[in-house]
A and B are shown apart, each in its own frame.
Chain A
Amino acid sequence: MKIGTLSETELSRHLHGDGLRLRTGPFVVSLRSPIADLAARLAVLYSEFPVAEPDGFADFHVSVRLASGPRRLIKPQAIFDFDGFHPFNPLPGDQAFAMLEWGLNWCVYTHAHEFLIIHGASLERDGKAVLLPAPSGSGKSTLCAALTQRGWRLMSDELILIERESGTVRALARPISLKNASIAVMRRYAPDAVITEPVHDTAKGSVAHMRATQDSIVRMDEPATPHWVIVPRYRADADTHVEPMSKAALFMTLVDNAFNYSLLREQGFSCMAGLTDACSGYRIEYGSLDEAIAALDRLVEHGT
């Protein structure tokens, strides 16, 4: 069963009751929330996602609710709750869905240590994965979103999951978080894509979410073999420039963007070394999405 097959009433009953069991890649999340705007965005962005068995195992039990008290009437605040623990300060109520997304990321990168987890996007074509490790503001999500419109399957926008034993890349395929100018850029670039109305004045500026392509969701259980690491950097009006990275530089870039490398100690080193062995690394500076994608296609197809 998909979330999109639930009626508004059924979805609300799950979110108000024992929790909606939402499966995203290898994780099942039990989500409760009485916030109508969150439910509406969930229904749009997660419509193609499977609903897990209601009495089955859930990796994470989370809720997003509005703080109680008189403040609720004047300036409501959203609270993210993980097993009774509040890892974040409350945020304005209209940021509830963004808070859910950030909270789910937090759940994964603080708990799922069966994976080496790297901050970045991952996409797949022909069974081969390209990884885009980069911090916020690099243009990573914009390039990732554009690639999903040009034949690449979204595996993840924020968290690259590397299976420690096999070294393969696993998919999460949740909505892509677009910030600030990239929202309008993607509306122009992909006019048929589903992009939510932005929420303004978040810690990351204005934030909107783009629905993952159906192919990305249907195939979210398919792993991929890592082949390329692309470190993107957007600069307005820049000519596209591709620069190969040495393996040692690539290794350190991946380390710098990893969430749990230090925690995994020697196993983290070994897994990161294996990932470095498997991948060719490049830095791409770009000012045009189409040029960046063309450059990436040349790398993938011809290695130049």
Chain B
Amino acid sequence: MHRHALMLRLAEEDFAWREWAGEAVIYDAISGDTHRLPAPAGSLLTALRQHGAAALAGAMLPPGETSIGLDEVIDALLALGIVERIALEDRHPV
């Protein structure tokens, strides 16, 4: 399965973040660290916030937004803990 099809959701409880032109700056309230991630990290976070949980990461980027580097960005967001994978049993029936 392509990584873009990962099911993700935002775990914002311990984070503050802002998006500008697809880039993101993320404040980790537990460590006190601030991170800058390249585009499309910010677009992805914005899309996750707008669409809620259990959306397809690759499908959520705004029209025209490149998905180049998306895998690396998702890895970085997962490593930070600001997004998390959704287990299949957490998905709501459609």
Contact = CB atoms under 8 A, between A and B. Distances in A.
B18 interface: yes
Contacts of A249: 36
Interface stretch (A35-43, A192-200, A263-271, A286-294): A263-271
Contacts of B20: 246-248, 251, 276
Interface residues of A, number: 15
Interface of B: 16, 18, 20-21, 23-25, 27, 29, 32, 34, 36, 42
A252 B29 contact: no
Main DSSP-derived SS at the B contact region: strand
- Interface residues of chain A: helix, strand, loop or mixed (majority): helix
A281 B18 CA distance: 17
With most chain B CB atoms within 10 A of its CB, the pick from A248, A252, A270 is A248
B23 A246 contact: yes
17 contacts: A246-B20, A246-B23, A247-B23, A248-B20, A248-B21, A248-B23, A248-B36, A248-B42, A251-B20, A252-B25, A252-B34, A261-B34, A265-B32, A269-B16, A269-B27, A269-B34, A273-B18
A248 B32 contact: no
A147 B79 CA distance: 45
A255 interface: yes
Contacts of A251: 18, 20, 25, 36
